[in-house]
Structure 1
Amino acid sequence: MSGSALEPGFRYRLFGLTVLSEIEMPQLPAAPVGRVDLTISRTAIDHPRRREPGVVAEFGPAMQYLAWETVGAFRIRRADLIEVDPNAGVSDALVALPLLGSVMATLLHRRGLLVLHASAATLGGHGIALLGDKGAGKSTTAAALVAAGYALLSDDVVALAFTGGNRIEILPAYGQLKLWDKAVAGLAPLPLREQGQLHPAIAKSQYGLATGFSAEAAPLSRLYVLGRGDTAGVTMVEPGEGLAALLRYAYMARFGEAGFGPSMAAFFGRAAALASAGKVRILQVPEGVQRIGQAIAALEHDLDLRPAGELRANIGAM
């Protein structure tokens, strides 16, 4: 879809796309006037499940519908359009939570990207993703990397683009992290701006990065599955174990087989290739945020990087 200077809305850059949005999301980097790749439009959505309680996800070959009882409804009918129907009185800030999470992940999957529930950063030209269950420490470890002088690429939704040949890139999202308050206190110094609690029912808060975000895609080097242990370290995994991890942490897996739709075979093939190439490894993170610098050192060793230096030593010192 092409845009013009006369089109109203907010212009953002997100996952390599220029976005024209009727939903205001100031946490996103601004984009200049020009071609638009994705439009986010407010419109009435008439769907038979519109008033169902809880979360509703309905996926078909031509349309994906998601709704949250407390937020509103979202619909994807084209790869360049997300339709949004917020509930009365719901702020753009609240709409942005599912919009930048499950809805955007669904749109990116439809556009042919491999989407993971993960955090990602770039270290000395190496793009890495951190995978794990809820509470595994993905965002905290990503924040520690920023504190050590590296750059965030994405938090929560990670999109891999297969750009031809053997090149795979992690696309940049925006400079925001969702963190526990105790993690922020233990990771000082961090260039953060607190943006408020995610939701009254969610203990984490949103923090915008003043610096430490990379707006450039980074070539994928590793996919680390986070584990806990007494010591930090990186271990290789067998291809079968790596494939199982990628299937487990695929963002669309939360919606079952219907979430993948006709792209299931393509996702499986790409995930198998990543696992066979040794891209998937386990990163063991010691308990306690004051010891997370040891995990950063293990990453640097695995990537054959020079340590970030004194910045890493400051992690947990304040």
Structure 2
Amino acid sequence: MSRTAEEAARFECRLYGLDIVSEIDLCARRPRTATALPVTVRVGGSVPATRVVPEGELSAQWTTGSGLTASFVRRRDGSHLLRFESTCDVVIAEGTDRITVHMVEGVPESMGGVLVGGTVLSYLLMLRGDLVLHASAVDVGGRAIGFVGSSGMGKTTLATLMCRDGALLVTDDVLQVAGDTTGDPRCALGATELRLRASASRLADAFAEGGSHRPTADERRALSVPAATDDDLPLAALLIPRPDRHGSGLALTRVPPAAAALSLLSFPRILGIRDQRMLAGQFAQVTDLAARVPVFVADVPWGPPFEPHLATRLLTALDDALDDVRGHRRTEDADRELGARC
């Protein structure tokens, strides 16, 4: 049976531009603003494990590397049922302001917290029409730098290396980007922990001061590091990691806007989307973003071990690349002005 409000723990936070009041600890230490109606997360009754796809209009479906299937459907009452096979069923109410988590019998609630803090809130944001990237991001001098890619490509590792050398964490794994066509795209603050795979978990040892870590329900190591506090940071650049495990060279290659949009779309935060409206919305937003924010492929010497000054080298290369982008744009603007005068 569902717990009463008195029995349930209450965790409040702000994630991806959303104020959240939750019965499950989402392990995000960002205070909510209390100026808007929150999204509530409640724990419902447990459910038995099943392989049956729920009834409704299928909006997304994919199978994990371990062979488990996730199926998301829109139901007749306007709500969405997100079934994570052998883990939980999650219901998002029609107004996208209420989430109810039904854990499969015997599965700990902490696993539900992992899914809600990442996949479920990403899907909710997309239902609201927001742009969501599969990316981690850091704050360097008041500007956000994002690392985009599919799972295992190194985006969290690069964010960790940057934070090791003084950057502040903006988010991990989910990046919500906002901004109209006249302003700079801006990033909402997200996760306050970096979820490291086993191959990169030793990076946590570099944070003996100012960092703490814990095991997660999905067998990763969650590292708490100094986090950014300024919301809506301008997004300066997006980097697609390309780890080089056999060399020491570091290089950034600018991706032309059209190709950049296709690259970003190839790393969706929600896999297997079938909802045409959602696909069209993400396509239009990503295309616009790629036209306004430089996207680079980052060839990076990889570890472990990672060289001590890798983050500094990467940031220097990025500053040089951004200077080139700005110079190119100034030339284009001058050419357009000259053409208009002629």
Normalising to structure 2: TM-score of the pair?
A: 0.75
The 3-state SS of whatever aligns with 1:290 is coil
CA positional deviation for 1:236: 0.7
Report the counterpart of residue 14 of structure 1 in structure 2.
15
Larger radius of gyration: 2
Residues 89 and 108 (structure 1), Cα distance of their counterparts in 2 relative to 1, 3 Å cut: same
The 3-state SS of whatever aligns with 2:222 is strand
Tell me which of 117, 126, 134 is aligned to 2:134.
117
- Maintained 8 Å contact 1:67/1:73: yes
CA positional deviation for 1:181: 4.6
Report the counterpart of residue 72 of structure 1 in structure 2.
88
Residues 45 and 263 (structure 1), Cα distance of their counterparts in 2 relative to 1, 3 Å cut: farther
Kindly report the root-mean-square deviation, in angstroms, between the aligned alpha carbons of the 2 structures. 2.9
Q: Does 1:205 align with 2:221?
A: yes
1:35-80 superposed Cα distances (whole Å, 9 cap, x missing partner):
433111233599xx97227333223383332122332110223222
Tell me which of 123, 141, 154 is aligned to 1:106.
123
Report the counterpart of residue 173 of structure 1 in structure 2.
190
Residues 188 and 232 (structure 1), Cα distance of their counterparts in 2 relative to 1, 3 Å cut: farther
CA positional deviation for 1:95: 1.2
Tell me which of 171, 195, 198 is aligned to 2:214.
195
Report which stretch shifted further, 29-38 or 284-293: 29-38
- Maintained 8 Å contact 2:46/2:104: no
Matches of 2:120 and 2:216, distance apart in 1:
20
Tell me which of 55, 60, 84 is aligned to 2:69.
55
CA positional deviation for 1:215: 5.3
- Maintained 8 Å contact 2:162/2:311: no
Tell me which of 255, 261, 265 is aligned to 1:243.
261
Report the counterpart of residue 228 of structure 1 in structure 2.
243
CA positional deviation for 1:115: 0.8
Report the counterpart of residue 290 of structure 2 in structure 1.
275
Structure 1, unaligned runs of 5 or more = 1-5, 306-318
1:157-205 superposed Cα distances (whole Å, 9 cap, x missing partner):
1111125622311111121111135534346532321211443xx4x32
Report the counterpart of residue 161 of structure 2 in structure 1.
144
Work out the percentage of aligned pairs sharing the same amino acid: 23
Residues 215 and 277 (structure 1), Cα distance of their counterparts in 2 relative to 1, 3 Å cut: closer
- Maintained 8 Å contact 1:234/1:299: no
Q: Does 1:82 align with 2:99?
A: yes
Q: Which residue type is aligned with residue 154 of structure 2?
A: G
Residues 27 and 275 (structure 1), Cα distance of their counterparts in 2 relative to 1, 3 Å cut: closer
Matches of 1:226 and 1:283, distance apart in 2:
5
Structure 2, unaligned runs of 5 or more = 1-5, 53-67, 322-342
- Maintained 8 Å contact 1:118/1:138: yes
Matches of 1:32 and 1:276, distance apart in 2:
32
Residues 282 and 41 (structure 1), Cα distance of their counterparts in 2 relative to 1, 3 Å cut: same
- Maintained 8 Å contact 2:40/2:99: yes
Structure 1 or 2: more strand by fraction: 1
Normalising to structure 1: TM-score of the pair?
A: 0.80
- Count of aligned pairs between the two proteins: 291
